[in-house]
Amino acid sequence: MLSKKMQDLLNDQINFEFYSAYIYLSMAAYLQANDLLGCAHWMRVQTQEELMHAMKMYDFVNDRSGRVVLKEIKGPKAEWASPLEAFEDALKHEQTVTGRINHMMDIAIEEKDHATQIFLQWFISEQVEEEASVGAVIQRLKLAGQSPGGMFMVDKELAQRIFTPPPQTSQAPLAPPQKA
Ligand code: FEO
């Protein structure tokens, strides 16, 4: 059973993951409006990642007999000065997420909530990957600089990103079987 404090933290984080999805979808719209379809695609995949994070937490709260309470999602920023600025904002946002996850882990340790600690370990590793992948894009954008050819190459590369959903581990109800 989750403590009230941990349940509140998880519910807040579910909201923050949806907010993250909203931020990245807004970045995708900005990038698409600037004809960077590969960059926009990368951000759309990132949006899917965030929705998956939110739902993973949603399932965990339910699996622990907790109560999911959804809250209002804050509106994201809509404009950036450059694609580089958008990706730099994404990195800052991921660093905030990492801080929040680490704080949740501190509380889970304090409460001797072993199941939540194991659950959050996945997110701690995921955050290392999240920060590294945005950081790698920032490096490429910096190398491309103002060169249209360089930007074209980066955009083409980011178009290759694929969303791979993790295996389902929750007891959450699955979609009903399809009729033959
Ligand atoms: Fe769900 Fe990108 O942190």
Task: Give the domain range for residue 125.
Answer: 4-158
pLDDT exceeds 60 at position 69:
yes
Establish how many alpha carbons lie within 13 A of residue 39's alpha carbon, considering only the half-sphere containing its beta carbon.
29
Which residue carries 């970045």 as its tokens?
Answer: 27
More confident of the two residues 148 and 107: 107
Helices (H) and strands (E) in the chain, counts: 5, 0
Task: Establish if 176 belongs to a structural domain.
Answer: no
C-alpha 93, offset from chain centre:
9
Q: Which residues line ligand 1 (CB under 6 A)?
A: 17, 20, 50, 53, 94, 97, 130
Between the alpha carbon of residue 107 and those of residues 64, 113, 124, 159, 180, the distances in Å are 16, 8, 14, 39, 48
Task: Work out how many domains the chain is built from and give that number.
Answer: 1
Distance in angstroms (rounded) separating the CA atoms of residues 22 and 76: 6
Task: Establish if 54 belongs to a structural domain.
Answer: yes
Task: Establish if 167 belongs to a structural domain.
Answer: no
Task: Establish if 31 belongs to a structural domain.
Answer: yes
Percent of the chain whose predicted confidence (pLDDT) is above 90: 88
Ligand 1 atom having least distance to the Cα of 126? 3
Count the neighbouring beta carbons within 10 Å of the beta carbon of residue 180.
3
pLDDT band at 180 (very low <50, low <70, confident <90, very high): low
pLDDT of residue 166: 84
Rounded to two decimals, the pTM is: 0.93
pLDDT digits (tens, 9 = 90+) for 126-150: 999 999 999 999 999 999 987 889 9
Task: Establish if 69 belongs to a structural domain.
Answer: yes
- 97 C-alpha to center of ligand 1: Å? 6
Ligand 1 atom having least distance to the Cα of 16? 1
To the nearest 10 degrees (0 to 180), the angle between helices 37-63 and 114-144 is: 170
By residue count, the chain amounts to: 180
Which residue carries 């600037």 as its tokens?
Answer: 34
CATH number at residue 105: 1.20.1260.10
To the nearest 10 degrees (0 to 180), the angle between helices 83-110 and 4-33 is: 170
Question: In the 8-state DSSP scheme, what is residue 65?
Answer: T
The residue whose C-alpha atom lies closest to atom 1 belonging to ligand 1 is: 50
pLDDT exceeds 70 at position 1:
yes
Mean pLDDT lowest among 53-62, 112-121, 134-143, 167-176? 167-176
Mean pLDDT, the chain, integer: 95
- 88 C-alpha to center of ligand 1: Å? 15
Distance in angstroms (rounded) separating the CA atoms of residues 58 and 87: 27
Task: Establish if 165 belongs to a structural domain.
Answer: no
Task: Establish if 143 belongs to a structural domain.
Answer: yes
